[in-house]
Amino acid sequence: VLAAATASAGEAVLHVGDQEYRVAPVHHLGETVYLPGESLLEKLGGKAVWHAGGRRLTVRFGTQGATTTLFSSQVLAAQTVIELGAKPRFVAGRFMLPLSFYERVVPLLLAQPVRVEVTNATAPPAVVPRLFVDKAAGRHRMLSLKKVVLDAGHGGHDPGAKSPEGIREKRINLEITLALADALRRRTDVEVMLTRSDDTFLPLGKRTAMANASGADMFVCVHANGAYRRSATGFEVYFLSLTSSDQRAADLAALENGGEALPTGPGEGDDLNMILQDMIRTEHLAASERLAVAMQARLDLAMNLENRGVKQAPFYVLAGAQMPAVLVEVGFVTNPEEARLLIDPANQKRIVDALVEAILFYDAVNGLAE
Ligand SMILES: [Zn+2]
């Protein structure tokens, strides 16, 4: 039995520039080929450090670094999110990275071309249970995230945008938000609070105030997009800025703000509170952007829709939020086909799963201060 387990460990050759490295073991799990993690990275001259009780690995080559986690197939490298197509895993008790990590991330870190030649990939000798999942409950234990406030846009006498067939944005927002709350509660130990859980109207300022009063460490607003052009399509994720990234972003912010003007910034009065608010915004900007980027990357994988990118606009509901905050536009309700997709439970589930994965990734990356 022992002989059988050690008979073929799998092999590959890694070409970095004109150097060659023999790699073993090389395993496959399903479609994915896995190569060793920190041992191979260190052989290539990198420094690999585990954080957060072994849930997050940071690797550095000189000034270049990348962060990977066991929860996500996304890697943060050089301020970009790179999709690996599979999560890093413990395979037969050893931390291993998908082959794509060496092809997509390592070339960025080394500034050299990398080619992997797999001679032989074998199935791992034994299955090791997934780590860091609360086995009794089957839920991820969050590292840093304690409480999330989810905000379904519009409601009550404010329907938001409307499809030509009369599907209202407020309904889509609520259905997706309720499903997201349910998924987060089932899959993680994060506490979830909703600004509204039925068809009631809430002023924008009240929503932000609720998030702030709750002491939450993440605020996610869910909306569906509107445009005069019926053919407008796709999803986009916003984080706050006081200026818009383009004219359409400015128009959308005006539409979603529904006539409620942004609070005046510092300089337009000497209200200390306003200055403090502005500092708070700046403080959470980088984290908000990271969350927005992770969501956009996940939605892009999950949905066969146009990726409109991560944008910035002065949304009232995000202004003054005392925590990282994003606004997701899940699709265009004014596009008849997309409106039908947005009320389809199977498609809603794809959106929700993508948002949960993005939140898990965000949590793992932010898990511990460096
Ligand atoms: Zn809206």
Q: pLDDT tens-digit profile of 18-58?
A: 899 999 889 988 889 999 998 899 999 999 887 755 668 88
For tokens 């569906």, name the residue. Answer: 224
Q: How confident is the model at residue 8 (pLDDT cuts 50, 70, 90)?
A: low
Distance 201 CA to ligand 1 centre (A): 13
The one-letter amino acid at 241: S
Q: How confident is the model at residue 253 (pLDDT cuts 50, 70, 90)?
A: confident
Distance 314 CA to ligand 1 centre (A): 14
Distance 169 CA to ligand 1 centre (A): 7
Over residues 239-256, mean pLDDT: 79
Distance 246 CA to ligand 1 centre (A): 18
Distance 107 CA to ligand 1 centre (A): 41
Q: How confident is the model at residue 274 (pLDDT cuts 50, 70, 90)?
A: low
The one-letter amino acid at 340: R
φ and ψ of 327, to 5 deg: -125, 120
Per-residue pLDDT at 370 exceeds 50? no
Q: What is the pLDDT of residue 170?
A: 97
Instruction: Kindly report, residue by residue over 81-123, the tens digit of the pLDDT.
Output: 899 999 888 776 678 999 999 999 999 999 999 999 998 888 8
Distance 255 CA to ligand 1 centre (A): 8
Q: What is the pLDDT of residue 130?
A: 40
| Token digits of residue 126 | 């034994």
Distance 164 CA to ligand 1 centre (A): 16
Distance 209 CA to ligand 1 centre (A): 18
Distance 142 CA to ligand 1 centre (A): 29
Distance 161 CA to ligand 1 centre (A): 6
Distance 223 CA to ligand 1 centre (A): 4
Could you tell me which of 217, 208, 223, 194 has the C-alpha nearest to residue 319? 208
Distance 258 CA to ligand 1 centre (A): 9
Distance 273 CA to ligand 1 centre (A): 28
Question: In terms of pLDDT, which residue wins out, 1 or 113?
Answer: 113
Q: How confident is the model at residue 278 (pLDDT cuts 50, 70, 90)?
A: low
Distance 55 CA to ligand 1 centre (A): 36
Could you tell me which of 87, 115, 104, 107 has the C-alpha nearest to residue 31? 87
Rounded to whole angstroms, the Cα distance separating 156 from 152 reads: 12
Per-residue pLDDT at 352 exceeds 90? yes
Q: What is the pLDDT of residue 86?
A: 92
The reported pTM is 0.70
Distance 275 CA to ligand 1 centre (A): 28
Task: List helix spans (H) across 147-233.
Answer: 169-187, 204-214
* Angle made by CA atoms 101, 22, 126, in degrees to the nearest 5: 70
Full DSSP string of 42-69: HHTT-EEEEETTTTEEEEEETTEEEEEE
